[in-house]
Structure 1
């Protein structure tokens, strides 16, 4: 194998629970709670009903469960169905560096493996921290918008987390990486043009393939040599060489603690614009707006083409990635929620009128601040000629403006209450905050039952 693969496998093999500081483990619990809340929030979407039906058609020994329905299926299909729920609302966490990833996309594969194995809470926490280290190191190393979809990063993270739960040795971990990387390079076309249901399924598919890679390596299948540095490996296919940044531990911060949570169910780049729009709304009447100028960092380039579907979103997925649409909703409704993406809202002439008044511009000075800051400035010109401005540097949920434990719990309750019984929600939260005390994760996962609501 190549040096990059060997280095990653060695880190995965050597990571131990006792090496991970308590504050990092607490962050891991917070990210698990957030992801599982997002899964319950996505439970009743059309996309998730489809993927649950797909999972129900498969059986496996040992089985893993689909959260909510508790349907037994294969670990691979549990990873797919549960992962689709995690990302269905685009409400799960985000890590920003050279490029972006949603590291909790990896968790459905790890949870499915833990469910099938009856793994302990401590083992699950270790696998979770490992997964974030691997996934996010890709985002540190690889530049954005080079054609590789960021779900690929979580594929490798989920595969290593699953393999760690299986207790695989160094050679098998190297094979797991090779079996994840070579067959499963994903294209960023997933996030281009009019966005489809696949956009919110892509991370789940990565988790499904991750479980397969770990299972195959455990069974004894060897993977292609030099998957990263080889002649037709990742380096040459991307046209770039990269080096791993130092992994968490021995004084280096763990990336799970540097991952941001979302306050609004929308693309990460819209979190600051929504925040600024809501600040602006407090001082103006929407009926008085004559023009809106949104200034952001390089992401503004995505809105240069007025013919882009992002200016006329017709699907939930496209609207959730449209900064003009999301700012219009924030100004009109005073919030952005799961209800902001229904057919009636997408067709609302008031929102379309606000979008027609909107311009999105790149601010070069903001580029210099990103990704340490996520700046946005919105200027509204009123019909009177008066101008009102709102500006933000960090959205709520950013690591420099983090959600408190109480706010993480409130988000979980908000998303899970339509699906789960209140008593189950209370017990789930209590047990997840003390996850290291669980000898077997399965009793906690059994509490995710939609039929007890």
Structure 2
């Protein structure tokens, strides 16, 4: 039987998250515009991933042929799944190409990984409601829920480095998805506390599948795993599952002592609507901290493309978190390794002036010029970049790139302080490129008729918000 709130001596952080989730969602136009853009971009990333058979085979029901009453529709596919498995499928699609947005505090991550759970639960609830003669949820409800998962997720990232503790950042997904979908299911504060504390009680998964030399494809579906687990915990909480009020602070067996080395685990400030307004929409399929480095390489491509054999050194300056995350030397074993290697990404940008997900394939990686360029690439920390990365008033994600030639000449030192998808550059070609990315992605997963339905909604939040969630999702069925 679930413990009542008055019986709980809650860890303050748990209470703060629960109070935020229980409160009316943020309603500023700026925040809702940002949430609308993020939801649409994330949906597009999932549809783009349907072009990869390795992604498609991980979707669908656990047991082939399973029929689920009121099942949630998986975009671009024929699958209608229970909300737990639908969350896995949606979030796996959205994350597969490493193309969905990023947010950076002391931990990097992708708050939009939660949107797969939000789509699954909103669709399922809408179908259940309709079957009972009740009103389905609107897409505005979905956008609000997506916004709230961003704030919980980003809040847990701001002051807490999971990388430094050997844990994957999927924990933030599990907590955020559990809490917000519990509210969608009709949960009260006690239910939400139970969902969140059970998510923390799971501990954290090991980071090894995201870090060399053990990087593997699990990093492509870890978000799906966490989102689906969050939904499962939300459903258990609704059924009366116990809460664990001191899950963080309990001596000997609590999260902070057993998984966090006794270090502080905090929120920088109360959740609001700041995270969604400060995320970075990716414009190329790379790890987030490599976006500005790739842009610099693309800018230098016209100057170096005929002089590749004459390059003596490629010098990258970056911030400290980039060094931890994507500075990789030696053999790269697979696509998951390559899309987290800044040297590989810069080499592709210099060689061809663009990058697509296919550039991480074994066939593309066999080009001997790529490893030759990697071998002469140096990556060093620029302290000013690190300071500005962690400064909330700056919020940069800078890289600098300069190419030195054997004859002693060099290119200019190209500094990109903010990636093209950063909020500071939305009017600097950023929003145009995000729209182009959306068109490219949905063309992979949808028919021409479906594209014609979806494309206008990318720029029309008011039209999207009035739609019933289940009707919207049925229109995207494959």
Assess same fold via TM > 0.5. Answer: yes
Aligned residue number for residue 59 of structure 2: 52
Aligned residue number for residue 390 of structure 1: 414
Matched residue of 1:20: which SS? coil
1:291 paired with 2:313, answer yes
Check 1:423–1:449 CA distance in 2 against 1; reply closer, same or farther (3 A cut): same
Taking the TM superposition and a 5 Å limit, the aligned residue runs for 1:407-446 are: 407-431=433-457, 433-434=461-462, 437-438=465-466, 440-446=468-474
Aligned residue number for residue 374 of structure 1: 397
Aligned residue number for residue 176 of structure 1: 195
- d(CA) in 2 for partners of 1:348, 1:136: 38
Counterpart pick for 1:221 among 241, 263, 279: 241
Check 1:392–1:171 CA distance in 2 against 1; reply closer, same or farther (3 A cut): same
Taking the TM superposition and a 5 Å limit, the aligned residue runs for 1:175-254 are: 175-193=194-212, 194-231=214-251, 232-236=253-257, 237-238=259-260, 239-249=262-272, 253-254=273-274
Check 1:175–1:304 CA distance in 2 against 1; reply closer, same or farther (3 A cut): closer
Aligned residue number for residue 126 of structure 1: 144
**Is the CA contact (8 Å cut-off) linking 1:152 and 1:185 kept in structure 2?**
yes
Can you list the C-alpha shifts for 1:166-206, whole angstroms capped at 9, x where unaligned?
Answer: 12111111111112221252222231123211011111110
- d(CA) in 2 for partners of 1:225, 1:312: 45
Matched residue of 2:424: which SS? coil
Aligned residue number for residue 4 of structure 1: 13
Aligned residue number for residue 153 of structure 1: 172
**Is the CA contact (8 Å cut-off) linking 2:292 and 2:397 kept in structure 1?**
yes
TM-score by length of 2: 0.87
Aligned residue number for residue 424 of structure 2: 400
Check 1:354–1:42 CA distance in 2 against 1; reply closer, same or farther (3 A cut): same
Taking the TM superposition and a 5 Å limit, the aligned residue runs for 1:337-356 are: 337-356=356-375
1:135 paired with 2:176, answer no
Matched residue of 2:117: which SS? helix
- d(CA) in 1 for partners of 2:326, 2:169: 23
- d(CA) in 2 for partners of 1:384, 1:412: 43
- d(CA) in 1 for partners of 2:352, 2:85: 38
Aligned residue number for residue 475 of structure 2: 447
Check 1:404–1:364 CA distance in 2 against 1; reply closer, same or farther (3 A cut): closer
Taking the TM superposition and a 5 Å limit, the aligned residue runs for 1:16-31 are: 16=25, 19-31=26-38
Check 1:364–1:271 CA distance in 2 against 1; reply closer, same or farther (3 A cut): same
How much has 1:53 moved relative to structure 2? 4.5
Counterpart pick for 2:110 among 102, 109, 120: 102
How much has 1:59 moved relative to structure 2? 4.4
**Is the CA contact (8 Å cut-off) linking 1:55 and 1:73 kept in structure 2?**
no
Check 1:226–1:31 CA distance in 2 against 1; reply closer, same or farther (3 A cut): same
How much has 1:322 moved relative to structure 2? 0.5
- d(CA) in 1 for partners of 2:246, 2:218: 30
- d(CA) in 1 for partners of 2:120, 2:209: 25
- d(CA) in 2 for partners of 1:171, 1:75: 22
**Is the CA contact (8 Å cut-off) linking 2:298 and 2:349 kept in structure 1?**
yes
Counterpart pick for 2:88 among 37, 58, 80: 80
- d(CA) in 1 for partners of 2:468, 2:206: 37
How much has 1:406 moved relative to structure 2? 4.3
Check 1:93–1:3 CA distance in 2 against 1; reply closer, same or farther (3 A cut): same
- d(CA) in 2 for partners of 1:429, 1:62: 27
How much has 1:72 moved relative to structure 2? 1.4
**Is the CA contact (8 Å cut-off) linking 2:197 and 2:244 kept in structure 1?**
yes
**Is the CA contact (8 Å cut-off) linking 1:135 and 1:154 kept in structure 2?**
yes
TM-score by length of 1: 0.92
The root-mean-square deviation of aligned C-alpha atoms, in Å, is 2.1
- Corresponding residue pairs, total: 442
Matched residue of 2:445: which SS? coil
Check 1:83–1:364 CA distance in 2 against 1; reply closer, same or farther (3 A cut): same
Can you list the C-alpha shifts for 1:310-367, whole angstroms capped at 9, x where unaligned?
Answer: 5432311100001111000001111011221122111111212211221222223322
Matched residue of 1:381: which SS? strand
Check 1:280–1:112 CA distance in 2 against 1; reply closer, same or farther (3 A cut): same
**Is the CA contact (8 Å cut-off) linking 2:16 and 2:270 kept in structure 1?**
no
Check 1:439–1:265 CA distance in 2 against 1; reply closer, same or farther (3 A cut): closer
Matched residue of 2:415: which SS? strand
Matched residue of 1:52: which SS? coil
**Is the CA contact (8 Å cut-off) linking 1:28 and 1:256 kept in structure 2?**
yes
Deviates more, 1:202-211 or 1:239-248: 239-248
Aligned residue number for residue 6 of structure 2: none
Unpaired runs of 5+ in structure 2? 1-9, 127-136
